[in-house]
Amino acid sequence: MLDRPEPMIRRVALTAVLTVGLVGLLGAPRGAASAATAQAEGGCEVSRPATCSLSELAALVPLRIGSTAEAEEVVDGPYADTLAREFSSLTPENALKWYSTQPNPGEWRFEAADAVVGFAREYGMQVRGHTLLWAQDTYTPTWVSSIDNAAELNAAVETQIRTVVGRYAGSVARWDVVNEPLSTLGTGPSDSVFWSVLGPDWIADAFRLAHELDPTAELWLNEIGSDWVPGKHQALLDLVSGLIDQGVPIHGVGIQGHRLNSQPVDGVALAAQMREFTDLGLSVAITELDVATDPSDPDGFTAQAGVYRSMFEACLAVAGCEEVTMWGLTDASTWLDSIGIVPAPTRPLLFDEQFMAKPAYWAVHGLLAQQVAPPTSSTTSTPQPAPNPPAPPTLMPAAPVPAVPRFTG
């Protein structure tokens, strides 16, 4: 097997950690790393932001910056290169969901998840495990959603959590234990057999079991539309507060952040919502950011860049907002193009079909650069759009991971 070049991301991450540690010790506020300390190896100099990738800048804020990936994407050259260069967190888009890991009773499938988790480990990225229990019957295997007996469903849930969390213990930094427990466009419980058959304690039980299986993993609850569906933020806050009151081991709340270009972002309101979670002692993250454009709008990408910038600004304004993950990497592949809610192509991501950075990329990049090296009279913090980000290291495809009961990377 050929030797793999030492990925730039590892060297930079080390320097970034040291720098961030230093800034922390000195008590500097978030985002106030000086240009002198905030200089990373591997060609990234924050005083010349165009030399830095998103993850290099974000590490100095500090902020995790994430993308999704599927197994076939982490073996694809440009896709893998871009992931490793630009991101510090990876969310398997589908590979860890129940419908992927156990589509039929006792039929365990881990090849796809192993490939994504193995890639993340190889390139020093943290894994966001998405998701143990997606509380939408539409996205629950039929053999599970058709169980109408609490004891039987509890046993199935327990086996699922034991098997999946147990397998990836130590390899998955944080789990979205429960996804979308509230109704998509409302404030009540979602349409799920977990609510209707198991009753109100199913979320607390799932978190407790996951914690028992991997006490080092952070446990998160993830929700869609809580930032803009009327009343939904309060419903989510009530749900989460109830869990905390019961002593449930929960570490964070994920705000998915799927947005439309035509939907203005009230960054102040979003930051205030996030602070209501951090005031409870939790972390928050934007976990599934994408911004659909209208194919007939010639200025779509400019407006899109503004929406991305506002979403990142809201996160950066909250001390406990520690991650922004994009729901996809390039416009060539997005779930939005197939759901039929918005006209395709939606082109909602940071990179175009040819892996070229879009205005949205540069809006985020400029914002992060400003955070780590505030503009002075002699420097410009926002780089002008360049043809593309710095040339990536060439990566070898991830090695296949053998099917073993416990994931070892």
Under the binding rule (CB under 6 A), the answer on residue 224 touching ligand XIL is yes
- One of 78, 189, 335, 345 touching ligand XIL (CB under 6 A): 335
Q: What whole-number distance in Å separates Cα of residue 26 and Cα of residue 188?
A: 46
Is 6 among the catalytic positions? no
> Mask of contacts with ligand XIL, 84-103, x by CB under 6 A?
---------xx---------
Buried b (16+ CB within 10 A) or exposed e, 187-220: bebbbbbbbebbeeebbbbbbbbbbebbeebbbb
From residue 5, how far is each of 1, 121, 354, 394, 397 by CA, in Å?
Answer: 12, 15, 24, 8, 12
Site for ligand XIL in 285-314 (CB under 6 A): 288
Shortest approach of ligand XIL to residue 383 CB, angstroms? Answer: 31
Nearer to ligand XIL, 59 or 178 (CB): 178
What 3-state class would DSSP assign to 203? helix
Q: How many residues bind ligand XIL (CB under 6 A)?
A: 7
**Integer Rg of the chain from CA:** 21
Shortest approach of ligand XIL to residue 68 CB, angstroms? Answer: 7
What 3-state class would DSSP assign to 362? helix
Options 288, 313, 322, 323, the catalytic residue: 288
Nearer to ligand XIL, 134 or 312 (CB): 134
Tell me if 219 sits within 8 A of 251, measured CB to CB. yes
Shortest approach of ligand XIL to residue 92 CB, angstroms? Answer: 10
Query: 90 forms bridges with which residues in the sheet?
Result: 67, 127
Shortest approach of ligand XIL to residue 287 CB, angstroms? Answer: 8
Under the binding rule (CB under 6 A), the answer on residue 136 touching ligand XIL is no
Residue 170 — left, alpha, or beta (φ > 0 → left; ψ -120 to 50 → alpha)?
Answer: left
Nearer to ligand XIL, 134 or 308 (CB): 134
Which three-class secondary structure string do you get for 265-279? CCHHHHHHHHHHHHC
Tell me if 407 sits within 8 A of 121, measured CB to CB. no
The residue nearest ligand XIL at its CB is 335
DSSP string, 10-27: HHHHHHHHHHHHHHHHHT
User: 């109704």: which residue's tokens?
Assistant: 183
Shortest approach of ligand XIL to residue 70 CB, angstroms? Answer: 8
Buried b (16+ CB within 10 A) or exposed e, 60-84: bbbbbbbbbbbbebbbeeebbbbbb
Angle between helices 202-213 and 150-168 (to 10 degrees): 30
Nearer to ligand XIL, 163 or 184 (CB): 184
Shortest approach of ligand XIL to residue 155 CB, angstroms? Answer: 25
Nearest to 271 by CA among 320, 235, 225, 307: 320
Under the binding rule (CB under 6 A), the answer on residue 325 touching ligand XIL is no
Shortest approach of ligand XIL to residue 264 CB, angstroms? Answer: 21
- One of 82, 102, 179, 183 touching ligand XIL (CB under 6 A): 179
Angle between helices 267-278 and 300-316 (to 10 degrees): 30
Q: What whole-number distance in Å separates Cα of residue 298 and Cα of residue 294?
A: 9
Is 180 among the catalytic positions? yes
Nearer to ligand XIL, 86 or 93 (CB): 93
Tokens encoding 60:
């100095």
Shortest approach of ligand XIL to residue 338 CB, angstroms? Answer: 7
Q: What whole-number distance in Å separates Cα of residue 38 and Cα of residue 36?
A: 6
Nearer to ligand XIL, 91 or 381 (CB): 91
Options 93, 180, 313, 323, the catalytic residue: 180
Nearer to ligand XIL, 138 or 380 (CB): 138
Site for ligand XIL in 232-271 (CB under 6 A): 256
Nearer to ligand XIL, 82 or 100 (CB): 100
Q: Among positive and negative, which fits the CA dihedral 92, 342, 274, 309?
A: positive
Binding-site ranges for ligand XIL (CB under 6 A): 93-94, 179, 224, 256, 288, 335
**Residues with catalytic annotation?**
180, 288
